[in-house]
Structure 1
Amino acid sequence: MINKHIKYSVDSEGIAVVTWDVADSPVNIMNESTMAEFFLTINQAITDDAVKGIVIASAKKDFIAGGDLKWFLNYDKSKKECFDMLMQTNTYLRKMETCGKPVVAAINGLALGGGCEIALACHHRIMSTHSKSYIGLVECSVGLFPGAGGTQRFLRMLGPQKTIQYITQSKKLTAEQALKDGLVDEICNPEDDIVMLAKDWIRTKGTSMQPWDNKKFKVPGTPMGVGQISGVTEFFSVSNAMAYKTTHGNLPHIKNVLSAIYYGAACHIDKALEVEASYFVDTLFSKETKNIIRASFIFINDAARGKSKPKGYDRVSFKKIGVIGAGMMGAGIAYVNAKAGIDVVLKDVSVAKAESGKDYIKIQEQKKLQNGYTTEDKIDALLQKVKTSASNTDLASCDLIIEAVFENEKLKNTITVETEKVINETVIYASNTSTIPITQLAKSSSRPDKFIGLHFFSPVEKMRLVEVIVGKETCEKTLAAAMDYVIAIGKVPIIVNDGRGFFTSRVFGKFINEGITMLTEGVPPAVIENVARKIGMPVGPLAISDEINLKLMLAIMSEDSNLTPHEINLRQTLVTIIETHGRTGKKEGRGLYDYPKGEKKSIWKEWSKIYPPQASYDEEEVGKRLLFAMVIDAYKCLDSGVLQEPKDADVGSILGLGFPIHTGGVMSYIDYVGAKEFALYSAELESKYGARFKMPESLKERIKNAGNNRVFYEN
Structure 2
Amino acid sequence: MQHITYTIDTDGIAFITWDVANSPVNIMNEATISEFFTAIDQAINDEAVKGIVVNSAKRDFIAGGDLKWFLNFEATKEESFEMLMKTHQAMRQMELSTKPIVAALSGLALGGGLEIALACNHRIMTDHPINKIGLVECSVGLFPGAGGTQRFLRLLGPRKTIEYITQSKKLSAEQALKDGLVHQLAAPTDDINALAKAWILKNPEVSQPWDDKRFVVPGTPNGIGQMSGFTEFYSVSNAMAYKTTHGNMPHIKNVLNAIYHGSSTGIDKALEVEARYFVDTLFSKETKNIIRAAFVFIGDASKGKAKPKGFEQATYKKVGVLGAGMMGAGIAYVSAKAGLDVVLKDVSLEGAEKGKAYSNQLEQKKIDQGRSTEEKSAQLLDKIHPTDAVDDLKDCDLIIEAVFENLELKYKVTKETEAVISPEVIYASNTSTIPITTLAKASSKPDKFIGLHFFSPVDKMSLVEVIVGKETSDETLAAAIDYVTKIRKVPIVVNDGRGFFTSRVFGKFVNEGIAMLTEGIPPAVIENVAKKIGMPVGPLAISDEVNLKLMLDIMSEDPTLTDFEKELEKTISTIVHTHKRPGKKEGKGFYDYPKEGKKHLWKEWSTIYPQQTKYNEEEIGKRLLFSMVIDSYRCLDSGVLTEPRDADIGSILGLGFPIYTGGVMSYIDYIGGQQFKDYAAGLAEKYGERFQLPESLIERIEKAGNNRVFYKN
TM range (shorter): over 0.9
In the alignment, what sits opposite 2:326?
Answer: 328
Following the alignment from structure 1 to structure 2, what is the Cα–Cα distance between the partners of residues 265 and 636? 51
1:406 to 404, 407, 411: 404
The one of 575, 591, 594 equivalent to 2:592 is 594
| Range 184-193 or range 525-534, more displaced | 184-193
Q: Which moved more, 1:346-355 or 1:217-226?
A: 217-226
Q: Tell me, what secondary structure is at the counterpart of 2:586?
A: coil
Say if 2:613 is the partner of 1:615.
Answer: yes
Alignment of structure 1 residues 496-535 onto 2, 5 Å: 496-535=494-533
CA distance in 2, matches of 1:329, 1:257: 39
Task: In structure 2, give the amino acid aligned to 1:521.
Answer: E
Mapped contact 1:123–1:207 kept (Cα < 8 A): no
Shift of 1:131: 3.7
Residue 537 of structure 2 is aligned to residue 536 of structure 1? no
Secondary structure at 1:232's aligned position in 2? Answer: helix
Partner residue in 2 for 1:49: 47
- Structure-2 separation of matches of 1:659 and 1:411: 33
Question: 8 Å contact 2:100–2:203 — kept in the other structure?
Answer: no
What is the DSSP-based 3-state SS (H/G/I as helix, E as strand, rest coil) of the residue aligned with 2:6?
strand
| Structure 1 residue aligned with 2:662 | 664
Superposed displacement of residue 231, structure 1: 3.6
Residue of structure 2 aligned with 1:185, choices 179, 183, 188: 183
1:222 Cα offset (Å): 4.3
Q: TM-score, normalised by structure 1?
A: 0.98
1:227: how far off? 14
Indicate the residue corresponding to 1:200 in structure 2.
198
- List aligned pairs for 1:537-552, cutoff 5 A: 537-552=535-550
* 2:104 partner SS: strand
1:179–1:249 CA distance, 2 compared to 1 (3 A): same
Identity percentage of aligned residues:
71
Q: State the 1:38 CA deviation.
A: 1.0
Give the distance between the partners of 1:14 and 1:231, measured in 2 at CA. Answer: 50
Instruction: Give the Cα–Cα distance (whole angstroms) in 1 for the partners of residues 226 and 275 of structure 2.
Output: 21
**Is the Cα–Cα contact under 8 Å of residues 227 and 268 in structure 1 kept in the other structure?**
no
Larger mean Cα displacement after TM superposition, 282-291 or 177-186 = 177-186
2:356 paired residue number: 358
Query: What is the rounded CA distance, in whole Å, between the counterparts of 1:164 and 1:408 in structure 2?
Result: 50
> Match for residue 215 of structure 2?
217
Give the structure-2-normalised TM-score: 0.99
2:252 alignment partner in structure 1: 254
Q: How does 1:100-179 map to 2 (within 5 A)?
A: 100-179=98-177
CA contact (8 A) 1:222 1:231 kept: no
Q: How far, CA to CA, are the matches of 2:360 and 2:25 in structure 1? A: 37
User: Which residue of the partner structure matches residue 8 of structure 1?
Assistant: 6
The corresponding residue for 1:604 is 602
The answer (yes or no) to whether the contact 1:399–1:427 under 8 Å persists in 2 is: yes
User: Tell me, what secondary structure is at the counterpart of 2:464?
Assistant: strand
Query: Could you tell me which residue of structure 1 aligns to residue 89 of structure 2?
Result: 91
Q: Secondary structure at the match of 1:312?
A: coil
1:368 deviates by 1.6
Contact 2:220 2:263 in 1 (8 A): no
TM-aligned CA distance change 1:476 to 1:491, over 3 Å: same
Q: Write the mapping of 1:343-492 to structure 2, written as runs, cut at 5 A.
A: 343-492=341-490
1: distance between equivalents of 2:384 and 2:106? 35
* Rounded Cα–Cα distance in structure 2 between residues aligned with 1:229 and 1:45: 43
- Cα shift at 1:291: 0.2
C-alpha separation between the residues in 1 aligned to 2:358 and 2:178? 34
Give the Cα–Cα distance (whole angstroms) in 1 for the partners of residues 561 and 613 of structure 2. Answer: 31
**What CA distance in whole angstroms lies between the structure 1 residues aligned with 2:351 and 2:25?**
47
Instruction: Tell me, yes or no, if the aligned pair for 1:114 and 1:148 is still in contact at 8 Å.
Output: yes
Q: Secondary structure at the match of 1:8?
A: strand
3-state SS in 1 of match to 2:466: strand
Query: C-alpha root-mean-square deviation of aligned residues, in Å?
Result: 1.3
1:280 aligns with 2:282: no
Secondary structure of 2:664's counterpart equals coil
Tell me the SS of whatever aligns to 2:24. Answer: coil
Secondary structure of residue in 1 paired with 2:584: coil
CA gap 1:643/1:609 in 2 versus in 1, 3 angstroms: same
Size of the alignment, in residue pairs? 713
Note the C-alpha offset of 1:226. Answer: 13
Does the aligned pair in 2 maintain the 1:229–1:266 contact within 8 Å? no
* CA shift for structure 1 position 219: 2.3
Structure 2 Cα separation of the partners of residues 44 and 227 of structure 1: 48
> In 1, Cα distance between the equivalents of 2:7 and 2:299?
36
Aligned to 2:22: 24
Corresponding residue SS for 1:148? coil
The CA deviation at 1:154 is 0.5
Amino acid at match of 2:485: I
Name which of structure 1's ranges 105-114 and 456-465 shifts more when overlaid on structure 2: 105-114
Task: Give unmatched runs, 5+ long, in structure 2.
Answer: none
Q: How does 1:300-315 map to 2 (within 5 A)?
A: 300-315=298-313
* CA deviations over 1:385-422 (Å, ceiling 9, x no partner): 11100110111111111111121111111111111111
State the distance in 1 between where 2:175 and 2:204 align.
Answer: 24
- Is the partner of 1:587 in helix, strand or coil? helix
CA distance in structure 2 between the partners assigned to 1:149 and 1:228 by the alignment: 26
Give the deviation of 1:615 after TM superposition: 3.3
